[in-house]
């Protein structure tokens, strides 16, 4: 699986090189390209400097890429130089596009009316953002900057996208539809992908399975990537026509050996699955250390108000008692971080919100507050239902305060999933 289309990604932004901002565009673009079967060879982060960006474009050309995607440097300020540098790279002059100038002027007029900012700064920004390499395909602005698709003679196709992740993502489909990009992608050989998502299985176990299956079966035509992200292990199998039988056999071996860790077989996320399982149910939350993260995670999905009735962030013991009905004696006897209190919070959340499913999370997120018996990372989780089902877990989670809270949120999602997967559909 190597004779396909190769791509490189260049992300510009001096703030990325001081570590102030974490780049979100490189991984997003790489993931999109990979899903289309394009091989990404490099992701390069460079500052907002002409020479550095130009050097990056030359480097990727030496890496024999067919496609370069850039992000950033399309804004109105003097350090936004991408259009100019890409024009130079392609040997194309910069020209003012009158239609685009009018279009941006219209966008700016609306924005000015809303914000009250007007004047010379705007006119200047307008002209700069409508100045593009001659011959470029222009992609309609999402903010005020158009995207560009520039074909370099005897070189790669360069797709120039804005830096704000929202704008870049909104422009992606238009970029793929631009003729030079469409023509390139038509050259990607066909392939089939299978995505397995597992929860709670060590990566070494999958590695062993792959070794053992590989000993009796030719897996050389299957590209296998495993990726551990927090507690979820994703196994991606990708193969060209002809390797169907081997791929099917491998999937069935993984299912047989590790079936109880399997979350989804179709690439679907845990959150999608939980949302689907919550259809027809209602859920309420009682959170202490996760402090709203589980509620926010459930509410991420459109339509979540159909099942998510509410949650209580009960940081103080008083709030646990007043809003979730946790008996003070229970806290006294077992401590605020205890399986008993987590269960009372889950039951209390059901009572408070009148829901069928309740979730309780209480733990020591750190960095302070740990003891020998209840160290930093000790988190008690419980999910209960009006039908009497109970799922609980009380691990010591590794990492920083942020890691612990995120992992506890993941775990809550999986406990909800397990309770619901065993629940019959409620009568409506």
Q: Segment 112-131, which members bind its own copies (CB under 8 A)?
A: 115, 117, 120-122, 124-125
For its own copies, the closer CB: 97 or 403:
403
Phi, psi for residue 415 in degrees, rounded to 5? -65, -40
Q: How far is the CB of 135 from its own copies (least distance, A)?
A: 28
Binders of its own copies in range 279-338 (CB under 8 A)? 285, 287, 289-296, 298-300, 302-305, 308-316, 318-319, 322-323
Residue with tokens 């397990």: 418
Q: For residue 353, state whether it binds its own copies (rule: CB under 8 A).
A: yes
Q: Residue 274 interacts with its own copies (CB under 8 A)?
A: no
Question: Least CB distance from residue 243 to its own copies, whole Å?
Answer: 18
Instruction: Name, in order, each residue with C-beta under 8 angstroms of 61's C-beta and a sequence gap of 6 or more.
Output: 68, 152, 155, 156
Cα gap 144→111, rounded to integer Å? 10
Can you give the three-state secondary structure of 363-414, one letter per residue? ECCCCCCCCCCCCCCEEEEEEEECCCCEEEECCECCCCHHHHHHHHHHHHHH
Q: Looking only at residues 161 through 200 of this chain, which bind its own copies when binding is defined by CB under 8 A?
A: 164, 166
Smallest separation, CB 134 to its own copies (Å): 25
Token pair 């459109």 is found at 302
Does 206 engage in binding with its own copies (CB under 8 A)?
A: yes
Q: Does 372 contact its own copies by CB under 8 A?
A: no
CA 352 vs CA 241, 326, 382, 423: distances in Å: 55, 11, 16, 21
For the window 78-117, what string marks contact with its own copies as x by the rule CB under 8 A?
Answer: xx-----------------------------------x-x
Nearer to its own copies, 227 or 390 (CB): 227
Please tell me the total number of residues recorded for the chain in this structure: 428
> Is the CB of 136 or the CB of 162 nearer to its own copies?
162
CA distance 275 to 307: 9
Tokens of 412: 């809550």
> Taking the complex as a whole, how short is the minimal distance between the CB of residue 148 and its own copies, in angstroms?
20
| Residue 260 near its own copies by CB under 8 A | no
Residues in region 16-55 near its own copies by CB under 8 A: 16-24, 26-32, 34, 40-48, 52, 55
Strands 39-46 and 192-199: unpaired
Give the one residue of 177, 192, 225, 371 binding its own copies; rule: CB under 8 A: 225
Calculate the alpha carbon distances from 142 to 45, 155, 162, 172 in Å. 23, 28, 9, 11
């Amino acid at each position: 699986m190597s004779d396909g289309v190769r791509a490189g990604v260049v992300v510009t932004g001096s703030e990325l090189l001081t570590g102030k901002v974490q780049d979100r565009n490189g991984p997003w673009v790489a993931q999109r390209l990979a899903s289309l079967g394009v091989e990404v060879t490099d992701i390069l982060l460079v500052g907002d400097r002409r020479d550095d960006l130009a050097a990056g474009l030359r480097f990727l050309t030496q890496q024999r890429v067919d496609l370069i995607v850039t992000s950033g440097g399309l804004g109105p300020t003097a350090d936004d130089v991408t259009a100019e540098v890409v024009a130079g790279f392609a040997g194309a002059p910069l020209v003012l596009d009158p239609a685009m100038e009018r279009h941006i002027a219209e966008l700016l007029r609306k924005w000015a009316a809303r914000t009250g900012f007007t004047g010379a700064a705007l006119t200047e920004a307008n002209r700069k953002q409508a100045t593009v390499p001659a011959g470029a395909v222009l992609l309609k602005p999402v903010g005020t900057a158009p995207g560009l698709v520039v074909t370099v003679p005897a070189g790669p196709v360069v797709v120039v996208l804005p830096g704000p992740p929202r704008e870049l993502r909104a422009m992606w489909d238009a970029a793929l539809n631009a003729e030079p990009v469409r023509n390139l992608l038509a050259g990607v050989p066909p392939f089939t992908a299978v995505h397995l998502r597992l929860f709670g299985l060590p990566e070494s176990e999958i590695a062993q399975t792959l070794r053992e299956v590989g000993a009796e079966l030719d897996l050389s035509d299957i590209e296998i990537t495993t990726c551990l992200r927090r507690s979820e292990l994703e196994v991606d199998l990708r193969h060209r026509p002809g390797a169907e039988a081997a791929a099917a056999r491998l999937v069935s071996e993984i299912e047989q050996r590790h079936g109880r860790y399997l979350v989804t077989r179709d690439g679907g996320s845990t959150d999608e699955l939980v949302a689907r399982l919550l259809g027809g149910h209602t859920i309420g939350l009682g959170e202490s250390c996760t402090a709203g993260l589980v509620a926010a995670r459930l509410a991420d999905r459109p339509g979540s108000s159909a099942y998510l009735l509410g949650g209580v962030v009960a940081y103080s013991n008083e709030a646990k008692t007043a809003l979730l009905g946790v008996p003070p004696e229970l806290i006294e006897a077992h401590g605020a971080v205890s399986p008993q209190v987590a269960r009372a919070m889950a039951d209390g959340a059901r009572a408070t919100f009148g829901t069928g499913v309740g979730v309780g999370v209480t733990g020591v997120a750190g960095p302070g507050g740990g003891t020998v018996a209840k160290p930093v990372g000790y988190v008690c989780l419980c999910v209960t239902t009006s039908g009497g089902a109970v799922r609980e877990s009380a691990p010591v989670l590794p990492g920083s305060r942020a890691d612990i809270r995120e992992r506890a949120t993941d775990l809550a999602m999986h406990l909800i999933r397990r309770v619901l997967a065993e629940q019959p559909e409620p009568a409506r």
